[in-house]
Amino acid sequence: MERQDIVNEINKTFIDTFEIESEKLKGSALIFQDLDLDSLDAVDMIVHMESNLGIKIDIQKFSTVKTLDDVYNLAEELLHKKDLIQ
């Protein structure tokens, strides 16, 4: 999966699940401050990412995520590791 596909899939989750306007979905956007997500939303986001991207996200690793770019990078890293294993 290419990075742009990852970005598109994650952005789709933000738009569809959290009703966030696409204009707000910039890589530098802060997940909790700019996008107004809370800890329960973060758990929902993890569940959607795992389901839609076929990856397993470690909660401890996700706790370091601050920006939308961090989310994209984490997903890309996990997908890359998954591809190496297969």
Give the span between the Cα atoms of 43 and 48, in whole angstroms. 9
pLDDT of residue 34: 96
List pLDDT tens digits, range 2-41. Answer: 999 999 999 999 999 999 999 999 999 999 999 999 989 9
DSSP state of 9: H
The CATH number covering residue 30 comes to: 1.10.1200.10
List pLDDT tens digits, range 41-71. Answer: 999 999 999 999 999 998 888 889 999 999 9
Number of domains in the chain: 1
H-assigned helices in the chain: 3-18, 39-53, 59-62, 68-85
pTM check: above 0.75? yes
The share of the chain scoring above pLDDT 70, in percent, equals: 95
Q: Show Cβ contacts of residue 24 under 8 Å, excluding neighbours closer than 6 positions.
A: 34, 35
- Look up the domain containing 31 and give its range: 3-85
